[in-house]
Structure 1
Amino acid sequence: MTKAPQYQEAPPWESIARDKKASRDARIPLGWKLKPDQVPDDQLNVTNVPYECGILTPKELKITNSSARTLIERILSREYISYEVTLAFCKRAAIAQQLVNCLSEIFFENALEAAKSLDAEYEESGIARGPLHGLPVSLKDCFQVEGTDAAIGYTALVNQPTSKEDESEITKIMRQSGAILFCKTNVPTALMSGETFNAIYGYTSNPYNRNLSSGGSSGGESALLALRGSPLGIGTDVGGSVRIPASFCGLYSLKPSFGRFPTSGIRDGLNGQEAVRNTVGPMAHSLEDIEMWCKTVIDSQPHLHADPDCLPIPWRQPDIPKKLCFGLLLDDGIVKPLPPVTRALLRAKTALEVAGHAVIEFSIDEPLFLDSLKFDLYRSAAADSLQEVLERTGEPWPQGYEILGDMANDENYPKATVSDLWKAQAKRTAYSKQILQKWAATKDSTKTEREIDALIMPCSPWPASSRHEFIYDNYTSLWNVLDYCATTVPVTHKLTNADTPEDMAACPVAIQVVGQRLHEEYLLGATRSLQLCLEISDTK
C-alpha cells in the first residue's frame, strides 16, 4: 500500500502572521484600493501616486496637504468638519499602506464614528473639546489603543487586544485633547532596529525610493507622514527611533529628555530597561505642529495623574536671543556621512552665518566609548528577553538580530549581572559629566557670553539607508544615553550632485539639532531660528 504523502505543518508564527496581515488588509474599503498594476513594482518614487490615482477628491488633497494647526483652525471656524478631514486622511493612509506597507492596525470606521460624534457635540455646544479638536493623529504600534493589538512586531503578541483601562497615557491624552485616532503604524521586532520590518507585516519602505529604508523604529510613522497619510504622528525614541525615520523621510521631529512626556502604558520591547530611558516624541511637517503637540501634552499635567515619571515642568516660553551661536559637528571620526549629509550641514552653517549667527566647531570625545557603553547598558540584556518571546510561536530571529540570537543561544556567553549594570551606569554618569563640561567650555569661544545655544550635526551617515543595511546609530543614540533633547530639520529634497549615490537622488536630507537636557522649549526656538535662515537662503 502506498503511503500518503507527509506534509510538514507550518510553524505557528507563519499562520498567525498570515491571518493578521489578511485581517489588516481587509479593513481597507474596496473603493480605496489601487487598481492592479496601477503602480508598477519597479516604480521607486511613489510620492505622486496620491495625486494621480483618482481616489482622493481635490478637496481631500487640499485637506491632506494642510498642516495640523491649519486643520484645527478650519474645523473650529466650521470651514471643515472633523468627519471630512478624518475621511480624507483615512483614504490617504490606505493609499500609503498599499504603496509602502506602513500600517499595523487600521480602525478607520471607529475614527469616522468618533469624528461624527465630535462634530455633533461641537455643533450643539460651540465648545472645542481640546487643543487638538477634530485632528486625526496616528500612533506608532507600541501605543496601546482599545480594541487593537500592540504586537510590536512579535507574532506571539498578536490577537491580544488592549482593554480601555490599559490604554497608554498618551492615547488617553490625545482623546481628551480632541484628537481622532485612526491607525497605528509598523515597527521592527521589539522596536530594536533602525529599519522597520517584522515577521507579521514585512518591510516598510521609503516613499521617495522603495528600495530604501524609511528608518526605525518609528518607520511606519515616517513613511505614512511622508505620503501625507497623517497630519501628525507620535513615535518613541530610545536610540534614534524618532529622529532616524524623520530624517530619512524629510520630517520635523523632537526627541525630548526623559520625563517631559508620559511613557506609561507603552508596550516596550525591553520592558523594565531603565539605563537608557525610552521617550515619546512627535513627528510632523512643521515645527509649529511639533510645538503645538508638546504644549498640548504638557498642559494636560500628566505628572499629576498619568505618569509618576513625568516631571512637574510646565510648558515655558523661552527668550531666544537675536544672535545665536551653534556648534557644528560634521562627523564623529568613526563613520563619515555621505556627501549629501555634509552638504546639508554646510548649507545650514552658511545660512546661519549670513543671517548674523555664529557657528563654531564641536567634537565628541571618545566616540567608540559610547558604542561599548550602549551594549553594556541594555543590549546585552536584550538577547534573553527577545528569545523568550520569539520561542512562544517558533518565530525565527529577524535579519540583523543575529548577534543577539548568538548571545542567547551561546551557553558560554557571559550574562550581564546587576553588578555589571551598575558599573556601566557609573561609566555613563562619568561620560555625561565629560560631555557636559565640554559643552560648557564652548562659552570661551562663542562670543555671546554663553555656551553654544544648540549643536547641529548628522542624524545618520545616510540620507536614507538601503534595505537591511542600517548599521550605525551613534549619531542619535549618544543623546539618548546622555538624555539631551534633539530635533530634526529637513534641509533639501533635491540631490543632483555627481557624488550622490544614484539610488538616493530623490531623497530628502535632514540634519539633527541637539539641545541640553530638559531644554526642549529653548531647542525648538533655536531650531525655528535655523529653519527661518534656511527659508531665507532658499529665496536668494
Structure 2
Amino acid sequence: MSWEEIARAKRASRDQAIPPEWRLPPGQVPDDQVNVIDVPAKCGILTTRELEITETDAVVLVQKLRSREYSSHEVTLAFCKRTAIAQQLVNCLSEIFFEKALEAARCLDAEYAATSVPRGPLHGLPVSLKDCFPIEGTDATIGYTAFANDPTGEGEEAEITRIMRESGAILFCKTNVPTALMSGETYNAIYGYTSNPYNRALSSGGSSGGEGALLALRGSPLGVGTDVGGSVRIPGSFCGLYTLKPSYGRFPTSGLRDGMEGQETVRNVVGPMAKSLAAVEMWMGVVLKSQPWMSADPDCLPIPYREVDVPKKLCFGLLLDDGIVKPLPPVTRGLLQTKAALEAAGHTVIEFHIDDPLYTDSQKYALYRSAAAYVINSTLTSTKEPWPRGMEMLEAMANSDSQSSATVSDLWKAQVKRTKYAKRILQAWAATKTRTGTGREIDALVMPCTPWPACVKYGLTYDNYTSLWNVLDYCATTVPVTHVSSSNDIKPEYKGRNGTEIGIWKNYTPERLAGAPVAVQLVGRRLKEEYLLGVTRVCDDALKAAR
C-alpha cells in the first residue's frame, strides 16, 4: 500500500474501536469551539458515577479500588468512555484496545474477589502510555507509516509496560506522537494533529502531546511519556500537568521504540505525567519498587527510592530570561506569581543566570541531529512518506552530501565541549551557596518551560529552556500555576534581540492564547529526583495557599 492508504487504514481501525454509543452527536461541539475542557462532563455520555470516578485523583482511585468501593471494571469502563470523548475532541490517541482492557479488569476483579490479595501497588488503575511503549498486539508506529501494521509480539513489550502490568495497572490506550518523536508538537502523517483541549487553536506540546491532551481532559488518571528535549515537560506545561523528567538511569528505557535508537549522547528518559503531584510521586515509587536494575534494564542505576527530609526554609533560584528568547507576558507573570508565593511561605528566591545559554542549541547538530536526519529519511523513504512540516532543517541535512554530516570525531569533540560546559553550570549552581542564606546551594531552579504558555499550531520554534537540561542530564518537574488572562497579560512594547525572539513576540496577543495553562519548570541536581519532588511539593503548596 502507499503511505496514504496505510494512514487511512490505521485511522479507520482506530476510530472503529469507539462504540457508537460513546460518539458525540454531530454538531454538539462546534468546530469553532476552542475550549473543550468541560465537554466530557457536560456531553451526557458519562453517568454521574463515571464522572465521579474520572475526576478522582489516581492515588485516591487506587485506595478506593483496594477497598472495593470501586471495581476495576467500572473504573476502566469510565475512563474508556472519557478517553473516547477526548479522542473526538482533540485527536489524542494512536491505539485503542478498550475491549482487552475491560476483559483484563474483569479478570482482576474476579481474582481479587477470590483471594483478597491486590494485584500490586497500582491495583486495577487504568494507565495510558505514549505510542513509543510497545504493548503486545498493538503497533508502535511513532508516527511512521513504515512501522504500521507490525504489532508487538509476545515477550516484546517495553520494560515499563511490563512493570505497569505487574503492578496491577490496566493498560487501555496509547497516545499520539510526532513523527520519530522529533518535535515539540504532536502531529504525523497517520493520525494528524493533536490539539490543546484548553484552546484547540493551540498545540498540546510534544512529543508526549497526545498523553498531555488526554490527561488534561481526564481521559486517564496517570500517563507515561518520554523526554529527550522537553517531550514530557512541554506537554505538561501546555496542558496544565505535573510531570517529572528524571536523570538518565533512574527509570528503565529498555524496549522503547525510539526515533534515534543507538543515540547515547543525549539520552531519552521515561517520565510520569498526571493531574496531581501525588500521582507522579506514586508512579516513581512503584517503578523503583520493582528494582528494574536487577534484571530488566542494564542501563538502570541501582538506586532504590530514597526518603528525603526537605528543610523548612528553602532557597530557590529564579531564571526569568535565558538571554536568547524572553518569555511572553503570561509566562513571566507565572514565574513572578511563583516567586511571590514562595516568599509569602517564608522561602527565599534569588536570581540565577545561565552562562552561554546558546551553547546547547548550537551543539545539537553535532550531538545528535545530523544522525537523526539520516535515520528519519531512511524510514520515510521506505513507504515514500513525505517529510513532515517543521523538519525542513533535518530534511536539508539528510539531502546534503555526506561531507557535511557530523562524523564520529565531531561527536567526540562535541562531547568534550559538553562536559566542559556541564562543569561550568555545576560550579555556578554550587556557587549559589554564598547567596542563599541557608548554608546550602539553591534547592531548585524555577524557570520557564518554553517562551509560550502554549504555542499556536506549528508555531514551536524554540526549546532551549527544556533541552538544556537533557544535555546536562539534570532532573526537572512542571507545576501548573495559572491561565492566560487577556487583562493581565497585555502585550508590552518590546524589541526582539534575534529573529526567533522577534517572531515569537510579533505574533503574540493574549486573545490568541486564551485559556492556555501557564506553568513553571523546577530543575534539580542530577539524580536527585526524590529531593526535587519534595521541593516541588513545597512550591505547589505555596502556590495553592496563595490563590
- 2:317 aligned with 1:327: yes
| Counterpart position of 1:92 | 82
- Could you state the TM-score of these two structures normalised by the residue count of structure 2? 0.96
Is it true that 1:370 corresponds to 2:379 in the alignment? no
Q: Is 1:140 aligned to 2:149, yes or no?
A: no
Does the Cα contact within 8 Å between 1:407 and 1:413 map onto a contact in 2?
A: no
Change beyond 3 A, Cα 1:498–1:464: closer
Find the counterpart in structure 2 of residue 259 from structure 1.
Answer: 249
Of residues 499, 512, 518, the one that matches 2:527 is 518
Distance 2:126 2:18 in 1: 17
Counterpart secondary structure, 1:38: coil
Structure 1 residues 154-303: aligned runs within 5 Å = 154-303=144-293
1:32 to 14, 22, 42: 22
Q: What's the secondary structure of 1:231's corresponding residue?
A: coil
Q: Which amino acid aligns with 1:511?
A: V
Shift of 1:203: 0.2
SS in 2 for 1:440: helix
Q: Distance in 2 between matches of 1:51 and 1:89?
A: 12
Q: Secondary structure at the match of 1:271?
A: coil
1:432 maps onto 2:415 in alignment = no
Select the residue among 67, 77, 85 that pairs with 1:77.
67
Note the alpha carbon deviations across 1:398-425, whole angstroms, 9 max, x for none.
0000111111112266121111111111
Runs of 4+ in 1 over 3 A off after TM superposition: none
Task: Report the secondary structure of 1:487's partner residue.
Answer: strand
Q: 2:308 maps to what in 1? A: 318
Alignment check: 8 A CA contact 2:365 2:406 kept: no
* Cα pair 2:330 2:489 within 8 Å, conserved: no
Whole-Å separation in 1 of the counterparts to 2:359 and 2:298? 32
- 3-state SS of paired residue (1:340): helix
TM-score by length of 1: 0.97
Deviations 1:40-99 (A, max 9, x none): 110110111111211000110010001000111001111100000000000000000000
- 1:336-391 alpha-carbon deviations (Å, 9 max, x no partner): 10001001000110111111100000010001111111221001111110000000
- What RMSD, in angstroms, separates the aligned Cα atoms of the two structures? 0.9
| In structure 2, C-alpha distance between the alignment counterparts of 1:438 and 1:226, rounded to whole Å | 36
Q: Which runs of 5+ in 1 are unaligned?
A: 1-10
Question: In structure 2, how many angstroms separate the alpha carbons of the residues matched to 1:481 and 1:188?
Answer: 21
Q: Is the 8 A contact 1:205 1:214 kept in 2?
A: yes
Q: Which residue pairs with 2:510 in the alignment?
A: 501
Contact 1:129 1:177 in 2 (8 A): yes
Shift of 1:494: 5.1
Q: CA deviation at 1:255?
A: 0.1
Partner residue in 1 for 2:539: 530
Matched, 1:119 2:118: no
Local SS of the residue matching 1:446: coil
Partner secondary structure for residue 305 of structure 1:
coil
CA distance 1:470–1:355, shift in 2 (3 Å): same
Once the 2 structures are TM-superposed, how far is the Cα of residue 117 of structure 1 from its aligned partner?
0.3
TM-aligned CA deviation for residue 493 of structure 1 = 2.9
Q: Secondary structure at the match of 1:426?
A: helix
Query: What is the DSSP-based 3-state SS (H/G/I as helix, E as strand, rest coil) of the residue aligned with 1:217?
Result: coil
2:333 alignment partner in structure 1 = 343
1:307–1:25 distance in 2 versus 1, CA, 3 Å = same
Q: Distance in 2 between matches of 1:525 and 1:498?
A: 31
Q: Structure 2: which 5+ runs fail to align?
A: 491-508
Distance 1:207 1:459, change over 3 A: same
Tell me the residue number matched to 1:355. Answer: 345
CA contact 1:341–1:462 (8 Å) conserved in 2: yes
Aligned partner of 2:501 in structure 1 is: none
CA distance in 1, matches of 2:45, 2:489: 37
Aligned-pair identity (%): 70
SS of the aligned residue for 1:460 comes to coil
1-side partners of 2:146 and 2:370: how far apart? 22
Q: Distance in 2 between matches of 1:257 and 1:66?
A: 30
**Does 2:61 correspond to 1:52?**
no
Alignment match, 1:151: 141
Kindly provide the amino acid, as one letter, of the partner of residue 250 in structure 2: R
